[in-house]
């Protein structure tokens, strides 16, 4: 058991085995589902929260204080677009006062020079800017908003002027993967110290666009080579995080570093989840910070206990020597592909369900994007 880990007496048994529960490290605060963009791989849930149902400023302030007391070190302020909240600067200050490291994950669209300066003054410590592409027309076709690329470029300049460290987040897919070298060059041009390259996860809205977004094997092989060359050439200048896509992997990733091991996700209305897509799983009741303390939810809620540890695992995970490395992969992907949240993630070549990954369909250059619709969500 790691330093600082605790075993709660009330939760010693799960699947017949004791479960060690460590302290959470990071809180992903989804401040709102509102967003000016309409990306075809949007990771917001299909059912979006109304602005009027969002946690109020003082509720977030309490959550940040509780998170810090629980051991959380970092808060990632995210969305939707977090800057759609008019009180973002106040929330940054509240997180900073609680002693949390603050990272803003943003599209950059709603933040002019004045707001970026105010965020820096409030104590913001790091910015992650999402890019939809490097060429305005193509990037805006993905984002579903004309003029958005230029706004992102202006935002990156404000971040640079304020001296805030910048990470560029690029979601890659069939339409832009061949231009990974341009994405690397743009990250350097914008003064980023880190580039996170993420393949689309085919849950929720992205599943609707699977054919348009799924790269083929040759594209992925070329991208692997581009990343290797860029890492070698830019060592010490630009850190590059890149995880190959599940579709061509033989073992799964440790999604969220394991269910309920390090991360808490708070939805805009205060529900506490082990991962951003957990509400897609059936039979789980996710408690709200409006009804209980974060500590109680982390250590004692059924939802966090359900897939903790290894006691819940079926074979082949149960007797696999990687079971405490990848923790059986992703529960949300397992459910999306097999209809069973306890199934071994089909990303694993040992999974009896591996066939559904290949059978889920090929990429198709002629498939059009179905852009995210915001439905009832209003208030930007």
Using CB under 6 A, which of 316, 352, 356, 380 touches ligand SF4?
Answer: 316
User: From its phi and psi, is residue 280 left (phi > 0), alpha (psi between -120 and 50) or beta?
Assistant: alpha
- Residue 179 to residue 230: CA distance in whole angstroms: 13
Does residue 360 touch ligand SF4 according to CB under 6 A?
A: no
Q: Which is nearer to ligand SF4, 88 or 317 (CB)?
A: 317
Enumerate the H helices of the chain as residue ranges: 57-70, 88-97, 113-122, 136-143, 148-161, 180-189, 204-208, 210-213, 217-233, 294-300, 302-306, 331-338, 354-358
> Where does this chain touch ligand SF4 (CB under 6 A) — which range of 52-60, 163-171, 282-290, 316-324?
316-324
Using CB under 6 A, which of 40, 79, 133, 328 touches ligand SF4?
Answer: 328
Does residue 356 touch ligand SF4 according to CB under 6 A?
A: no
Does residue 332 touch ligand FES according to CB under 6 A?
A: yes
> Where does this chain touch ligand FES (CB under 6 A) — which range of 32-40, 210-218, 228-236, 274-282?
274-282
Quick one: which H or E segment has residue 240? strand 239-243
Angle between the N-to-C axes of helices 113-122 and 148-161, in degrees from 0 to 180, rounded to the nearest 10: 40
> Where does this chain touch ligand SF4 (CB under 6 A) — which range of 7-15, 24-32, 155-163, 317-325?
317-325
Does residue 251 touch ligand SF4 according to CB under 6 A?
A: yes
Does residue 275 touch ligand FES according to CB under 6 A?
A: yes
Does residue 277 touch ligand FES according to CB under 6 A?
A: yes
Q: How far is the CB of 286 from ligand SF4 (least distance, A)?
A: 24
Does residue 220 touch ligand FES according to CB under 6 A?
A: no
Query: Which residues, 6 or more positions from 94, have their beta carbon under 8 angstroms from its beta carbon?
Result: 57, 60, 61, 64
Quick one: which H or E segment has residue 241? strand 239-243
Q: How far is the CB of 337 from ligand FES (least distance, A)?
A: 12
| Binding mask of the shown chain, residues 230 to 269, with x at each position contacting ligand FES by CB under 6 A | -------------------------xx-------------
Query: From the list ligand FES, ligand SF4, none, which binds 272 (C-beta under 5 to 8 Å, kind-based)?
Result: none
User: How crowded is residue 18: how many other Cβ atoms within 10 Å of its Cβ?
Assistant: 11
What DSSP line would sit under 64-115, residue for residue?
HHHHHHHT--EEEEESS-GGGSTTHHHHHHHHHHTT-EEEEEE-STT--HHH
Partner residues linked to 128 by β-bridges: 105, 167
Does residue 52 contact residue 80 with C-beta atoms inside 8 Å?
no
Does residue 115 touch ligand SF4 according to CB under 6 A?
A: no
Kind of pairing between the strands at 74-78 and 194-199: unpaired
| Interface ranges with ligand FES (CB under 6 A) | 255-256, 275, 277-278, 330-332
| Interface ranges with ligand SF4 (CB under 6 A) | 251-252, 316-317, 320, 322-323, 326, 328-329, 344-345, 348, 350
């Amino acid at each position: 058991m790691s330093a600082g880990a605790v075993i709660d007496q009330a939760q010693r048994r799960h699947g017949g085995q004791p479960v060690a529960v460590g302290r959470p490290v990071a809180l992903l605060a989804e401040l709102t589902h509102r967003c000016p963009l309409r990306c075809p791989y949007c990771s917001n849930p299909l059912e979006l929260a109304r602005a009027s149902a969002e946690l109020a400023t003082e509720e977030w302030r309490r959550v940040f204080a509780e998170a810090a007391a629980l051991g959380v070190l970092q808060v990632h302020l995210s969305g939707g677009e977090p800057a759609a909240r008019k009180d973002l600067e106040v929330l940054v200050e509240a997180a900073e006062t609680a002693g949390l490291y603050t990272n803003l994950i943003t599209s950059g669209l709603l933040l002019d020079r004045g707001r970026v300066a105010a965020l820096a003054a409030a104590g913001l410590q790091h910015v992650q800017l999402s890019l939809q592409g490097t060429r305005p027309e193509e990037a805006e076709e993905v984002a579903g908003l004309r003029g958005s690329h230029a706004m992102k470029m202006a935002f990156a300049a404000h971040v640079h002027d304020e001296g805030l460290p910048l990470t560029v987040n690029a979601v890659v897919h069939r339409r832009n993967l061949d231009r990974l070298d341009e994405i690397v060059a743009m990250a350097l041009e914008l003064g980023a110290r880190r580039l996170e390259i993420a393949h689309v996860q085919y849950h929720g809205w992205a599943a609707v666009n699977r054919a348009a977004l799924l790269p083929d094997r040759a594209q992925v092989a070329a991208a692997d080579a581009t990343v290797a060359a860029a890492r070698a050439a830019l060592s010490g200048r630009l850190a590059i995080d890149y995880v190959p896509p599940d579709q061509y992997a033989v073992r799964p990733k440790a999604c969220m570093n394991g269910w309920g091991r390090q991360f808490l996700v708070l939805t805009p209305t205060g529900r506490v989840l082990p991962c951003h897509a957990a509400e897609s799983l059936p039979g789980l009741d996710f408690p709200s910070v409006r009804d209980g303390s974060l500590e109680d939810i982390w250590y004692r809620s059924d939802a966090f206990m359900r897939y903790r540890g290894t006691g819940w695992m079926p074979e082949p995970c149960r007797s696999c020597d990687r079971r405490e490395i990848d923790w059986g992969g992703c529960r949300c992907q397992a459910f999306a592909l097999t209809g069973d949240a306890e199934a071994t993630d089909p990303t694993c070549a040992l999974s009896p369900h591996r066939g559904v990954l290949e059978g889920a369909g090929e990429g198709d250059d002629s498939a059009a994007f179905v852009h995210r619709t915001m439905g009832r969500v209003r208030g930007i």
